[in-house]
Amino acid sequence: MPAETMIGLNAVIVSVTGEVPRVLVVRRPGHAMAAGSGRAAADAASDGAPALPFGPFTPDRHRTLELGLREWVSAQTGLELGYVEQLYTFGDRYRDPREIAGGPRVVSVSYLALVRDQPLSGSGEAQWRDWYEFLPWEDWRDRRPLVLDQIIRPALTGWVEATNDPGVRARRAERVFQTFDLDDPGWDGERVLERHELLYECGLVAEARRDAQVEGRPCADKADALPGAGMALDHRRILATAMGRLRGKLKYRPLVFELLPEAFTLFRLQQVVEALSGVRLHKQNFRRLLVANRLVEPTGRRVAGTGGRPAELFAFRREVLHERRAPGIGVPLLRQGLD
């Protein structure tokens, strides 16, 4: 008899404060996704780690998946979401440890939401966290992340060389090159999920060792120190998926304006794009691109800054949505390969 299947709903809720890209996490999901013997397995797998807001989809209660998601987010965080898009569906076996104890398989439909700063409340002990706490190798804004050379490079080198099969070794080396470019100045900011998946396979994230322990399978320790903070269940994988999706969409959709007030300075716009993409922009080229693509327009107002003359305020020029199919912000002009 086939195992029961449940549908779960997850939300990656992103905001940017100053130069910090933040993701909303909860400590108490506030629902009975796990019960009975499955509760112990779920507790062992989450270990009190931060989780993305989530809850079960109830067909009799929720007319659509998105309405169900919005209800759970509101209950757990107090937020009323604006922009939301469906991200991906996660259904790997044992992603919810209740399944090991004979419980249902949980297939989770995840969503990406972009919000401006709002106060938090709700039942989930919600808090904002810098998303680079969980994926520190993705932040290249000031320099090459130290974690790459201190932990990741030696561990991946050992993984490549751990086989005597030349073909397997070559495939592993190619995979490392394609995802991390450890000896190349280029960095593909969109391959966030592929990098996380490789680190998981090599036992370099806490979730890999935790899942192996819960499932009763071996997992070799590749390093004493593990990069980045862990998350409950497979929520760091979901976060990696969202980060890659958002970075890619910056090129062809004006989603960044969902994170800004109606009027903003070009400096603030650049800050937000840099925070999300994880690299620094060339100021003059970035502004020339904005002008050339007619993405913003002056409001005729200025705001006092911390020094110098008042900065001009701009607004998103919404007509561009009807003028072009892909009115992106121009991420290809980012300066890659920082030392």
Residue 132 CB contacts under 8 Å (≥ 6 apart), including other chains: 21, 138, 139, 278
In the chain, where the domains are located: 5-132+232-248, 136-215, 253-333
Backbone angles phi, psi at 279, to 5 degrees: -140, 165
What's residue 282's pLDDT? 86
Helix (H) or strand (E) holding 299: strand 296-303
* Best CATH choice for the domain 253-333 from the list 1.10.10.10, 2.40.33.10, 3.30.300.30, 2.60.40.420: 1.10.10.10
Residue 66 CB contacts under 8 Å (≥ 6 apart), including other chains: 84, 86, 111
* Helix 37-46 / helix 206-215 crossing angle, nearest 10 deg: 150
* Best CATH choice for the domain 5-132+232-248 from the list 2.40.110.10, 3.40.50.300, 3.90.79.10, 3.30.365.10: 3.90.79.10
Contact 145, 227 (CB under 8 A): no
What's residue 121's pLDDT? 80
Q: Decide: helix, strand or coil at residue 24.
A: strand
For the chain of 339 residues, list the mean pLDDT of each consecutive stretch of 10. 77 95 82 43 59 90 92 90 94 82 88 90 84 96 91 92 93 92 75 95 87 71 73 94 95 91 94 94 87 89 79 92 78 46
What's residue 23's pLDDT? 96
Query: What is the value of pTM for the model shown?
Result: 0.89
CA pair distance 23, 111, nearest whole angstrom = 13
Among candidate residues 205, 223, 153, the one with its CA nearest the CA of residue 182: 153
Among candidate residues 70, 71, 80, the one with its CA nearest the CA of residue 120: 80
CA pair distance 30, 33, nearest whole angstrom = 9
Both tokens of 56, joined, read: 């079960």
